[in-house]
Structure 1
Amino acid sequence: MNLIVDGIVFRHHPIGGVARYFNEILPRICNLDDEFKLTFLSPWEYRETIGLYSKGSVLKVPPFSRLTYRIPFLRGVGGRVETLLARSLSGLGNNSIWHSTYNTVPEFWPGMKVVTIYDLIYEIFPHLYQGPLGDKVRFDQKRAVESADAVICISETTRKDALNFYDINEQSTFVTYLGVTDSFKDDHKYESSLSIENPFILFVGERKGYKNFNCLLEAFSDWKMRDEVKLIAIGKPWDYEEKEFIVNKGIDDRVEVISSISDDELANLYSESEAVIHTSLYEGFGFPIVEALAKGSKLVASDIPTTREIAGDIPMYFDPHDSMSLIDALTIAIETQLSEKEIYDIKKHTFQYNWDNTAMETIKVYKSL
């Protein structure tokens, strides 16, 4: 059977969580099952390899969407031309599966279509994603999901949300959990040029909007232990509002942002931190959650359905709408000392989240069609 993977996400988000998902599962699918002949439709300018080796082929697709993006009346045309070209490169489509990395729908496709839903932030937080771009993402995802023969969801919470927002049959939906990258699975301390003042608490990832990082800044600024414990954030540099808040609260020497870091260095920080803080109002899965647990870190997390599903009772939960609740959880985390058995049990919980399982479950979805 032919498996066609449209690599559009590697054009717009080549190093994000979705790119990691496909980078991890595609080589495994090739290696685990010889029944599938995989063709990866790569963006023209994408120079990285996804490790298909001799068991898959790569076809380059010219960047029409990027060429027309800055021309308002052609903005939608480029993406459509790109999808049509990708469709034409894919052959007739008979006895084939089209698995888009980000909501493309091939025209006149006689084969099966699979789509993966990573989250529903555009539907759940429409006020954060207004205007033509937000409307387009919502339209594209709805069209891709409702026209798919199989819908893969990365958590049970995501599946429930999808059934709520889209007109789809529950029997066509499948949950395949994501995995933990190898760097976070072992106890090895990697070489690093980073020099971090101990002790510190750690925040990883995007901070704006539903990520709710402001709750952590507010809590940290009022926390009685802020002069003893630093806050390290991994992500983009502070924006103007964050800088202003940090300076006004007098915590500019107690918080630090690191914008360039390898997985190996991040693994070190997870292990060395006093606690990892996860403040989101919503998640489809949550890589920082499973990465922190895989390293045996104490986790302070917002009490939301996805985290309960993925992490169970392990985290110290707080109300994400109440900074005082977070302060209490931070204090408990700092004062709690984990035994070796407790650390092992935390790590053991993440054994179920591995990329081999994700690939095998994805193959089962393909074969169900």
Structure 2
Amino acid sequence: MRVVVPVVSSANTMSGVTRHAINMVRALLLTERVDHVHVVAGQWQKYVAEALGDVPGLSLEMLKIHSDIVSRNLWYAVGLPRVVRQENADLVHYSFPSPLWRSAMDAPAVVTLHDLYPHDLPENFGPIKAPFNRIVLRQCLWAADAIACVSHSTLARLERIDPMLSLRSAHVIPNCVEVPDAEVKPLEGLSDPFVLCVAQHRRNKNLLVLLRSFVHLRAMASVDQNLRLLIVGMDGPETNAIKSFIEQHHLQEKVLLKSGLSEGELRWCYRECLALVAPSVVEGFGLPVAEALLEGCRVVCSDIPSFREVGKHHCRYVRLNDCADVGFANAIVEECVRPKPLAVMSPQYSLETIACQYEELYRSLVVRNSSSVPVGCSTAKHVKGHVEV
């Protein structure tokens, strides 16, 4: 089976969605039925090539197009079907919802659904982009032969927004979460104790609450005044507000904004931080929470369904209310006096487990496509948590 995986996005550095796609490709290459995976990235996404490396059964195409939204969406609508035909692909797997012209491809299409932010938090996109993203999201989901939701929380949200769509083609296949092969590498210039947050600068990440919590932390007599806050994530719509808060509270020397860390550097951050803090309002999965637990890190996070699903009883949960900033500060202090936990192994998120789930889903779609059964008459049953063929 030959599979095309497009990962073309605007991101100039590694994002959670791209990390999902890379881990998914690694999983696919473990399966018996997938002979070849052709990954397509933008010429500005050199980090994709660095992360994937040179692996048998893998080819990487770096597109020479512009990174603006029009060029990218036009390529997904028109250029991607050409790539699928040229590669003689048996299946195409969209790593996130994008314009999908199904009738232009003979191969079935799967799309990974991470979240429903265009509906749940349009502030992530702004007043102009939000309606456009809702249209693209709906068009892609309805055109796809199957939707792979990254969590039960995402599937439940899809069921509330569009029950018919969720019953027609949605399945739960989580993100892959494994300790990377990369050697642990210290982050230069950081020797003081620090609290870690891995998040893009978007509204759903709730970073202003985190910053207010950090101010409360520094006001506590028991807290080391050398304590720093490290936020790892790409710039976004909230970047200006975040930088403004830092300047207003004179935190330039205490709050570090970083992006583009290597896997080795991120592993070091998880291992060396006092705690990972994740104050998100809504999430599709919660990859940093899962990764931090795998590295034996304390985790303080908001009490939301996706974090409960991933973190279970291993995290300290904080309710999102008017006093959330104080709640996070108190929870961080209380957790940091406890011994560091042991690493939490999650075999349900291993490459081998996820590979088997994708392999079953792909097989059912390819068989259905070769039999020319109309979309919507799948031989794969919709079972929450796995795919039953």
Q: TM (normalized to structure 1)?
A: 0.82
Cα shift at 1:353 = 2.3
Distance (Å, rounded) in 1 between the aligned partners of 2:358 and 2:348? 15
Distance (Å, rounded) in 2 between the aligned partners of 1:260 and 1:56? 24
Aligned to 2:99: 104
For the Cα contact (< 8 Å) 2:5–2:39, is it kept in 1? Answer: yes
- Counterpart of 1:203, as a letter, is C
Distance (Å, rounded) in 2 between the aligned partners of 1:146 and 1:55? 31
Cα shift at 1:227 = 2.3
- The aligned runs of 1:3-42 (5 Å cut-off) are 3-9=3-9, 12=11, 15-42=14-41
Cα shift at 1:354 = 2.1
Distance (Å, rounded) in 2 between the aligned partners of 1:183 and 1:39? 22
1:336 partnered with 2:343: no
Aligned to 2:232: 234
Cα shift at 1:135 = 2.0
Aligned to 1:269: 269
1:126 partnered with 2:122: yes
- Counterpart of 1:137, as a letter, is N
1:222 partnered with 2:219: no
Aligned to 2:383: none
- Counterpart of 1:316, as a letter, is R
- Counterpart of 2:325, as a letter, is S
Gaps of 5+ in 2: 366-389
Distance (Å, rounded) in 2 between the aligned partners of 1:54 and 1:191? 27
User: Does the C-alpha gap of structure 1 residues 144 and 197 become closer, same or farther in structure 2, counting only changes over 3 Å?
Assistant: same
Percent identity for Structure 1 against Structure 2: 21
Distance (Å, rounded) in 2 between the aligned partners of 1:256 and 1:287? 21
- Structure 1 range deviating more: 256-265 or 33-42: 33-42
**Match 1:201 to one of 189, 195, 205:** 195
Aligned to 1:326: 328
Cα shift at 1:33 = 1.8
Distance (Å, rounded) in 2 between the aligned partners of 1:295 and 1:115? 29
For the Cα contact (< 8 Å) 1:278–1:300, is it kept in 2? Answer: yes
Distance (Å, rounded) in 1 between the aligned partners of 2:241 and 2:224? 20
- Structure 1 range deviating more: 87-96 or 260-269: 87-96
Which secondary structure state, in structure 2, belongs to the residue aligned with residue 91 of structure 1? Answer: helix
Instruction: Give the CA RMSD over aligned residues.
Output: 3.1
**Match 2:167 to one of 143, 166, 170:** 170
Which secondary structure state, in structure 2, belongs to the residue aligned with residue 114 of structure 1? Answer: strand
Which secondary structure state, in structure 2, belongs to the residue aligned with residue 336 of structure 1? Answer: coil
- The aligned runs of 1:28-177 (5 Å cut-off) are 28-43=27-42, 49=49, 50-51=52-53, 53-58=55-60, 61-63=63-65, 66=66, 69=68, 76=70, 79-80=73-74, 83-91=77-85, 96-102=90-96, 103-108=98-103, 109-166=105-162, 167-170=164-167, 172-177=169-174
Which secondary structure state, in structure 2, belongs to the residue aligned with residue 257 of structure 1? Answer: strand
For the Cα contact (< 8 Å) 1:62–1:82, is it kept in 2? Answer: no
For the Cα contact (< 8 Å) 2:198–2:288, is it kept in 1? Answer: yes
- Counterpart of 2:233, as a letter, is G
Aligned to 2:372: none
User: Does the C-alpha gap of structure 1 residues 202 and 97 become closer, same or farther in structure 2, counting only changes over 3 Å?
Assistant: same
Cα deviation code 1:51-84 (max 9, x no counterpart):
5744245556552xx38x5xxxxx7587336532
Distance (Å, rounded) in 2 between the aligned partners of 1:244 and 1:6? 36
Cα deviation code 1:211-234 (max 9, x no counterpart):
101111112212312625332222
- Structure 1 range deviating more: 287-296 or 54-63: 54-63
Gaps of 5+ in 1: 70-74
Q: How many residues align?
A: 351
Q: TM (normalized to structure 2)?
A: 0.78
